[in-house]
Amino acid sequence: MDMSFSRGKRVLMTGHTGFKGSWLSQMLINQGALLTGYALAPDQELSLFELAGLERRMDSVIGDIRDFDALRALFLRVQPEIVLHLAAQPIVRESYKDPRYTYETNVMGTVNVLECARQSGCVRSFVNVTTDKVYENREWVWGYREDERLNGYDPYSNSKSCSELVTQSYRQSFFQSGAAISTARAGNVIGGGDFAADRIIPDCIRAALEGRPIVVRNPHSVRPYQHVLEPLSAYLAIAKAQWDDPKLSGAYNVGPEEADCVTTKTLVELFCAGWGEGVTWENRYDGGPHEANFLKLDCSKVKAVLGWTPKWNIQKAIDKTVEWTKAHRAGEEIIAVMDRQIGEYFGGSETDV
């Protein structure tokens, strides 16, 4: 998978200080992209962005995508050719606590980024990263396709459905020529360096490190879990494909093979086996807010149109997450661990991606 097309190109990424943004930043830095990031400062005690020292290796701007004037000034300065929009409020339970902030960030934030792209006239390829939860979930046993109804249930999922509709409207209204615009609907990602609250694998890691059982809220929910490098490679593949041929812009599902859409129970048991050290888990359903029980994606389109396929199954994804975490625990250099895994994923050295 040759992603070197970004070398020497001006790339603007929102949400670069987050978990996915940090991995993607390192990939783009390795590729030689002229990378600028725009995001809130990390809000956790542990941050992959800070651990990896990425702020010293790129043009990192701390800001809020709700601030249109600051965002527009950045577009005018950077004149980005490629925009990767990852900034979001990404936690379902947090969206129940603060729905207004969730909608402001995920909907109006997207409007602001698209409007800056429209006004700047310099963007050729734009990818808006949303979620697999944008679909009206009918608990089907088959995967949702890109033309299924968009109607997320909870404030987070619904705000991402709105972000999809906003992107579609801008594409149709303002970008019939010029920038090619796509959305990428990815499943649940796991990997080293995710320290977020209220996510299953970070919760597993915290429990393992503290020597206590892992608490599982809903062991029977099914999700399309995948290693973080899977969707990131797809985002770059989409950006490249529509750069070369704008007719390839549109919506793309990005997820694992069907066999890797597993229950939370299976995921946690794989983690316990991979971690070792006697770690255990317990079912403690807490009757929390509504979340879908069954969710899968049909990724036929991205495979057929772009030739993208997942590389690491769920076992490999867990193994690589545990490997990263134990390397961090042992004091290894974070950038070296990230580069090693990036190189392994792409089948060569990290500079080949």
Position 353 pLDDT exceeds 60:
no
Per-chain mean pLDDT for the chain: 93
pLDDT digits (tens, 9 = 90+) for 204-254: 999 999 999 999 988 888 888 999 999 999 999 999 999 999 999 999 999
pLDDT digits (tens, 9 = 90+) for 159-207: 999 999 999 999 999 998 889 999 999 988 999 999 988 889 999 999 9
pTM: 0.94
Position 2 pLDDT exceeds 80:
no
Position 349 pLDDT exceeds 50:
no
H helix or E strand, kind and range, residue 75: helix 68-78
- CATH architecture group of domain 7-352: 3-Layer(aba) Sandwich (3.40)
* DSSP bridge partners of 263: 222
Token look-up 């086996």 returns 273
The pLDDT score that the predictor gives to residue 223 is 87
Q: Determine the Cα–Cα distance for residues 271 and 312; give it in Å rounded to an integer.
A: 15
CB 187 within 8 A of CB 221: no
Instruction: Give the rounded percent of residues in the chain with a pLDDT score beyond 90.
Output: 83
Instruction: Give the rounded percent of residues in the chain with a pLDDT score beyond 70.
Output: 95
Position 72 pLDDT exceeds 70:
yes
Q: Could you tell me the residue ranges of all domains in the chain?
A: 7-352
The pLDDT score that the predictor gives to residue 235 is 97
